[in-house]
Amino acid sequence: MDTGLEELAALLHRMGELTYEAISSSIDGCLHDKKVYARVHEISDSLVLVADQVEDKAFELIARFQPVASDLRTIKSYMKISYDFARYGRYALDISHICERLGGLEKCEPWILQYIEEMSEKVVHMVRISIDSLRDHNTELAKSVAKIEPEVDKMYFEFLDKLIEKAHVASRCIISSVLTIRYLERIADHATYVCESIIYLATGQKVIFR
């Protein structure tokens, strides 16, 4: 059982680093008009495949070893985290796809770029926290996302309000920027879900940060 759990953890660590690359690349491509869609697509597909491996391995461990409660809690948490990591990849792909179709954000008004840059920094930081806290089952680090997630939500709604005030902004830029910040907000939610799962697998305590 211990070897199987170590294999699951290794798969999740691999997924974590892939998600970080996907999200960072998609944001960088959008902000600086770089062609990253193909690479992000490749990573997103890889994440789906690894998530399937996690699920298969988890069911194998359950079927073969009939895990005790603590091991079963770990397996359940790992399966949920693998799903959230796969969603990171999907939202990163959505961001890069929007920018591929409609163009990046370089031609947007400066305030839009500033909003997305600031929001991106917070979201990428949350993703990094979720990956690093998983590695050591660091519950204190995982809890730190609870302070950042409301800030991301606040930025999301403030941005929408500001767009309404500035209705003259070019329509393509509106569509691209709104969808980008929506996907960033969803990534932040999933980073929170991952950290909730880490606290559960490490302590058995169910917490909700949202």
Q: CA neighbours within 13 Å on the CB side: how many for 33?
A: 8
Tokens of 43: 């990573």
Whether the model clears a pTM of 0.85, i.e. scores above it, the answer is yes
* CATH code for the domain defined by 2-203: 1.20.58.220
Cβ neighbours of residue 127 closer than 8 Å, sequence gap 6 or more:
19, 20, 23, 88, 187, 191
Please, are residues 52 and 82 in contact by the beta-carbon 8 Å criterion? no
What would the pLDDT profile of 10-35 be if each residue is shown by its tens digit?
999 999 999 999 999 999 999 998 99
CA distance 119 to 62: 40
What pLDDT, on the 0 to 100 scale, is given for residue 176? 82
The pLDDT score that the predictor gives to residue 185 is 93
- Among 142, 116, 163, smallest CA distance to 208 is for 142
Quote the longest CA-to-CA distance of the chain: 62
Q: At what angle do helices 171-203 and 2-32 cross, to 10 degrees?
A: 160
How far apart are alpha carbons 133 and 195 in whole angstroms?
Answer: 7
- Tens of pLDDT along 27-70? 999 999 899 999 999 999 999 999 999 999 999 999 999 999 99
Q: Considering just the CA atoms, what is the radius of gyration of the chain in Å?
A: 18
> Mean pLDDT per 10-residue run, the chain (210 residues)?
94 97 96 93 96 95 93 95 96 93 83 93 97 95 95 93 76 82 93 94 87
Check residue 105 and give its pLDDT.
85
Q: What pLDDT is recorded for position 167?
A: 63
For the chain, the structural domain boundaries read 2-203
Residue 174 and residue 160: Cα distance in Å, rounded?
10
Determine the pLDDT at residue 169. 66
Closest CA to 35 of 47, 22, 45, 25: 25
The pLDDT, as a whole number, for residue 13 is 96
Q: Any idea how long the chain is?
A: 210
